[in-house]
Amino acid sequence: MLKQIFAFALGLTLSVHVFALKTKIVTFEQFLKLDQEHAAEMEFTDVSPSTQAWTAIYVVGKQTIPNRTAQMNLVILPEGLINKASPTEKINQTILVADDLPLRKKFSLKEFDDIADEIEEQTGKEIEDPFVKDADVIRTYAQVMDWAPEYGVENFKLSIAVPGQQGFEPLAIYMIVGEGDKPKQVMDLMLQNNNMSAEERQQQFRNASKSPDSMMAKMEARFLIFLVIAAVMIFVLWGKFRRD
């Protein structure tokens, strides 16, 4: 009986833990040296309308002009997907000014080992790094977006283009489509976009920790701890009962 109770408590604990942390990588694509004349496309179907779909785009760029005229126009065109942050928006366009982005010596997506492990484990694809010379000025940019599938649509497509490059060329663009909870390192990618001080990063973390998603994660963690403690107490009390 004791073994059954303990197994049930342990199974319930593990189930909650897996549910809270489960992340599904729907698809992953990488594009090295994307030119101005072509757009990169990724198509996928394995997205449930009832779950949270998200994308993470990570850009590694080389600056060749040492002033603020070095820019890149990043354009994202969704098909069958609605941007939750701006539902009426049909196209997302961001002008990347190289001088506004941080210089990077360690720029590889592999530096985010949790994301890299999930990508390689779930998709079987190995992340490739762009060719970079020691003297190259490298800057990075990341964008994370939440999406809702359009009603009745089963086939989805995301197109990304970089027209209007001027002194700032993309060496690599990585596109991740995920479902469910975002890994913490996906959100950490966003910290690559600026040169915040440690104090500013701490403040951003405190603000993020007050968000509904963060509060839910804390509740799940507390519930998980409660289940573990309950399982241990059951084990101890049952042993004491048998001795008596």
> What is the residue extent of each domain of the chain?
23-196
Tens digits of per-residue pLDDT, 88-144?
Answer: 988 999 999 999 998 888 899 999 988 899 999 999 999 999 999 999 999 999 999
Confidence of residue 39 (pLDDT cuts 50, 70, 90): confident
Q: For residues 193-211, give the mean pLDDT.
A: 51
Tens digits of per-residue pLDDT, 216-231?
Answer: 544 555 555 656 566 6
- Rounded to two decimals, what is the model's pTM? 0.70
Look at residues 225, 237, 220 and name the one whose alpha carbon lies nearest to residue 5: 237
Q: Which of 40-49, 118-127, 135-144, 151-160 has the lowest mean pLDDT?
A: 40-49
pLDDT of residue 20: 40
Name the more confident of 47 and 187.
187
Residue type, 177: V
Name the more confident of 76 and 190.
76
pLDDT of residue 139: 94
